[in-house]
Amino acid sequence: MNPLLLTTPHRRWNPLRGEWVLVSPHRTQRPWQGQTEDVAVPQSPQYDPSCYLCPGNPRAGGEQTPHYTGTYVFTNDYAALKPDAEIITEDDGLLHAETERGICRVLCFSPRHDLTLATMDVPSIRGVVDVWAAQEAELAANPDIRYVQIFENRGAMMGASNPHPHGQIWATEHIPNEPATELRTQKEYFAKHGETMLHAYLQKELEKGERVVAQNDTWVVVIPFWAVWPFETLVLPRDPVASMRSLSEAQRDGLADILKTLTAGYNRVFDAPFPYSMGFHPAPCDGEEHPEWQLHAHFYPPLLRSATVRKFMVGFELLGSPQRDITPESAAATLRNVMR
């Protein structure tokens, strides 16, 4: 890319969301006297008797967690959605509300309290991938479900209420805002070009190489050209695939491997546990074919300058448009260096 863009304020187009991102490279020199965070201290015990996700312990809702030895899935005790909610609609012009039904589940990645995706071994992560795929297949087969969102909030900074390694799966009656936007942009691109947007985008990133962070035979991790968060990454399969349940054996192996590489690398950036929110965007399960869709995962870590300084989405970001200081190319170089 033009080297002048690495030092000049400019904006970049995000074709997946259909919006601009402001990049201000010169702002990395500004002094920081704002809020700093405590460095997260890793949980050391393999078993915590006070943790409701550890095997054999009572859960917060009163149920008993079984003595599981691999992964464990259960319906969220405090689910944001209910499958049997009463159907209510209110429509008064600009004031519109309607019932949203759905299913919320929790997936414990491991019985060990002290592990994370970064510290689990690849075969164990492959077990998590298989459960993600199985859960997606089961929930997508429900005629009342049109989208299955798999995600993980890692670290207290990202709102995780329990350090035990776990993620969540929310299956919703309607397609949520983010994947609905991506559905529209990918459909438009496919109709115009006859290929999936993210597959075409990946070929450009592989050709240029400057934002590629890690790769294996089946998956590639890049910092998107349009990234908003400092060390945001996009995880893409090399070959077109629309959903988790459609992944081949080789793609599942490769996904487990690349998740280990990426999350362990994150921890080495500031020599501290790296918080993030991450999630997979599969195609909607709305009964339609989706040749335009490419399965992908977003990682959104908040850290900016160190393990104690985070990026805040405030001011212009809330009222104008997303903005970042360090360039995606600089962030990608930082991540590549710690992946080696």
What average pLDDT does range 296-319 have in this prediction? 89
Res 33: pLDDT: 40
Confidence class for position 70, pLDDT limits 50, 70, 90: very high
Confidence class for position 263, pLDDT limits 50, 70, 90: very high
Q: How many Å apart are CA 266 and CA 166, to the nearest integer?
A: 18
Res 200: pLDDT: 98
What average pLDDT does range 316-338 have in this prediction? 93
What average pLDDT does range 235-243 have in this prediction? 97
Q: Which of 26, 96, 164, 166 is catalytic?
A: 166
Q: What is the pLDDT of residues 132-172, one digit of tens each?
A: 999 999 999 999 999 999 999 998 888 888 999 999 999 99
What average pLDDT does range 64-68 have in this prediction? 96
Q: What is the pLDDT of residues 17-57, one digit of tens each?
A: 999 999 998 765 444 344 444 555 555 699 999 999 999 99
Of 183-187, 249-253, 256-260, 318-322, minimum mean pLDDT range: 318-322
What single letter denotes the amino acid at residue 4? L
Res 39: pLDDT: 53
Res 62: pLDDT: 85
Of 46-50, 248-252, 312-316, minimum mean pLDDT range: 312-316
Find the largest Cα–Cα distance for the chain.
59
Whole-number percent of the chain with pLDDT over 90: 82
Site of tokens 């200081």: 325
Q: Is the pLDDT at 5 greater than 50, yes or no?
A: yes
Res 202: pLDDT: 98
Helix, strand, coil fractions of the chain, as percent rounded to 5:
30, 25, 50
Q: Is the pLDDT at 3 greater than 80, yes or no?
A: no
Phi, psi torsion values for 126, nearest 5 degrees: -60, -35
Res 34: pLDDT: 44
Res 82: pLDDT: 93
Pair 252, 295: CB distance under 8 Å: no
Mark whether 26 is an active-site residue: no
Confidence class for position 310, pLDDT limits 50, 70, 90: confident
pTM of the model: 0.93
What average pLDDT does range 200-225 have in this prediction? 98
Q: Is the pLDDT at 307 greater than 90, yes or no?
A: no
Q: Please, which residues have CB within 8 angstroms of residue 322's CB and are 6 or more apart in sequence?
A: 19, 21, 22, 228, 313
